[in-house]
Structure formats: C-alpha cells, structure tokens
Structure 1
Amino acid sequence: MPQAFSGFGFVLGLIAIVLALKSFGINQEYQRGVVFRLGRLMETKGPGWFWLIPLIERVVKIDMRVITFALATQETVTRDGVAVKINAVLWFRAVDAAKVVTTVVDWTSAVVQAAETGLRDAIGQSELDLILKDRTSINARLLEILGKTVQQWGVTVDAVEIKDLDIPEQMQRAIAREAEAIREKRARIIKAEGEKDASVTLAQAARIIGEVPGALELRRLQTLSEIGVEHNSTIVAMFPTELLEAAKRIATV
C-alpha cells in the first residue's frame, strides 16, 4: 500500500509539473497574448513571460507587425465607362489584440476582402483621367474607405498603393493620339509666339532705320560683308541711294 501511494504521488507530481510548464508562456516583443478564463475575455499580456491558470485559462497570440499583401487584380469599370484591370499593395497591422480576436474570425482575410471591395468602389467613383494623372488622390480615398471598415476590428491600414493599371488597347491608342495632339498644339503656340516676337523686333528695327540717316546703308554694307565671307561668288552691290539723290540734285541745277 505505501508503494501504491508513492507511485500515485509520483504521477500527480509529474502531472503538476507538466501543467506548470504548459501554463508558462513567452510573448515576443511584437506579440500580444489575449487571455480567456473559462471562455471570458480577461486581459492582454504584453511582451515577455506570463503564467496561466492550468485548465482554466488559455491564450491567443496576435502578431502586431505590419503585414504586406498584394491584392489580386480587380476588373471594374470607371465612372466614365472604361473597363480597367487594376491591382494594389496593402500595408496593415493589428493595434487592438482583444478586438482582433473577439470581433472577426480571420482578421487578415477580412482586411484583404475589404480592401479588394474598396478598390473596386474607389475606381468606380473616379474617371480614367484622374486615375492616370493623380493616383495619390485615389490612394487617399481608398485609405479613407478602408480605414473606417477595419477600425471596428482593431486593425489599422498604414498605406495602400495602386500598383498596376491595364486599360483596353483602343483606349491606349486614343490616349496616345490625345497626347500627340496636345504636343502639336504646344509646338504651334510656341512657333506663333516666336513669330510674334520676331515681327515686333523687325518693326522696331525698321522704325530705327527710318529715323536714323545712313542706318540703311550701314545695314546694306554689313549684309554684303556677311555674304562675302560665307559665299565666294559674284556679288551684285546696289548703288547707295544717297549718292543717287545727290546726283539728281546736281543734274537739276
């Protein structure tokens, strides 16, 4: 009988040691442990070691680090009726471990599903030109929509960025033609402005030449000099108008 009691005590002691070891836990710096006692939510254990009451308490660990997830490509229609394929990258993390455990079954999957739905909604409320030219505003709108949804789950979205945007080939050609027309318009405007400035300068030069005696002759001589330097050919020089007028006056005397 004493041997039976000693064997039974050994078994109890061994069970007690096993339960004590199982009730001891460690949370990493990035982990939080949500403690339940007989099914009731109790407290959240921070990083470091902790003890649980054997057979009465259990813990659910939540990783608090940022999760990066590439959303699947979504096919949707923009506000102006253009079918597009778009995907995005999502950064999110848990901020309230108790809410994450008690309000949603699979919180990572729930956030991803909400993000994909919000992406389609954000694109559907925007025109194609805005999506192509100002993705920042689309990202901000999507972040606002998604933030309100996941807040109730104890989750926050740090950022969401549109990654790729595919549009129909005919729409790509139309955009290319539009860009070419805009460039041609700018070129014509620049050319017209240059001609306007040149005409103003020529008008000013003509006015100065008309007001200053001998200016026209100096300009003529300069032109002849430039032609002689650039082209070794026969040069026809016009007789100065001042000499012609002087000859006429002498002839009439």
Structure 2
Amino acid sequence: MTLTNGASKPYKAAIIQDFSTNKPWGQMTIDATANFIRRGIPHAQVDHYRAADGETLPPAKDYDLFVLTGGTVNLLEEETPEWALRVLDLIRDAGGLPRTKLIAFCWGHQAVHYAFGGVLDLLEEGPRIAVEEMNLTLEGKKLFGKETLKYHKRYISRLAPDFTALAERCEISCSKEKGILTFQGHPDLSREIVRALIDTDDGLYKPSETTHRSPCGKLFSSDTADDGDEVWYKIMDFVSAS
C-alpha cells in the first residue's frame, strides 16, 4: 500500500500499450504483464492504457508503477506520432517523481533513453524474435544474481545520462535516481506468446532470424527456454525497493 497524508490507498500500476493489434498475442502480453505485477504485489490495482490507439494517458502522479510495452514506431523518423510524444512526456514526468517506478521493454526501453537524451541506432539485421543470451555487466550481475540472461529480444548506442548499463551493448539499463529499469528485450514474452506472434506474423519477423547467430550474443530458436519468469522476480524486487 502507498500512503497519502497518513492514509493508505491501493497500490496502482499502469500498463502503457505501445503497439496496436487485435491479434491474440496482444492481449496475451498485457494479461501476462498484469499477472507478473500481481504476483509481486498481490493487492495492486493494474490498469491498461492503449497509448498506440490514442487513449488518453493518466498523469504520472496517479500511479506508483508504469510498465511500457514494446512497439514498432521508429523514433528516428522526422515525425513522431502524437501518441508517442505523449508517452515521452509521461516518461519524463514519471522520472521526476521520487516514489514512482517505471519498467520498460523493447520500444519502451528506446523511448526512455530518447526522452532523457540517449542515442538510438538502427539494428542492421532488422527485428528479431528469438531467445538471445546476453552477458551482464558487474552491476547487472549484482541485480540478477547470474552471469547471463536469456529472453526474447528485438539498440541504444549511448545511454541517457544518469543510467547505468546492466548488460553489454546497453541492452539492460537502470537509473536508481529516476526509479527506472529498462530492457531492450522481452522478459514479458513467454514461449506461448511468441508462438502466437509468429503464427500471425505479417512479415516483420523473418523465420531465418529466429535461428541465425547474432553479433549480440548466442541466438536460440523461439522454443528455447528463457529467463523471463526469473527476471520478473528481480523486476518486482526493484519495484518494491524504497
């Protein structure tokens, strides 16, 4: 519970959906994220905002936690959609609130660093959907308690100020000052969700890219076991820390 003027109120979390789809994997992703939040904070009120569909976003001060999903909007293009600009504003507002935490995946990871002055770059081999093994930095090993992580992954060439890299190539980052933890990959995607995504893919993810070796690390097939469930325990430890 959080406190307001000495009175308790429900812990409030908001999932900000940064993709637009009516395919089954979309709701599966939102439901899985909500379940992970409630596993860590059983009494949490979890709300869902379809940012990419133009839904009005709440004030940052109204929530204890924001989770930003993946998405496909290219923030390097000259014109950024209005909804994405509103998400960037929300990120900046949340980062300025000492008691509000923010977790971001994939596009959300890129948006956080874009919002705070980081540098984005294109991934030469294009989008990928598979399980990729990445090496953690010393700070990353402290947080996750292991040498490497494996999860479904899709590039930040330079982190925003006040952020620390938790994995090589800036694939995981943290700002304890702002209460933000970001992942270039997808600990939110289970094997079941990935299979549903591949089954309804419209060509964005090429089949060969699920098996080819990547310069970022060892790339496994989409059926490979991942660390997503374990990572979520660490995410919620970060969220719950004062």
Instruction: Report TM bin, short chain.
Output: under 0.3
Greater fraction of residues in helix: 1
Larger Rg: 1
TM-score when normalising by structure 2: 0.23
Q: Of the two structures, which has the highest relative contact order with CA contacts closer than 8 Å and spacing of 6 or more? A: 2
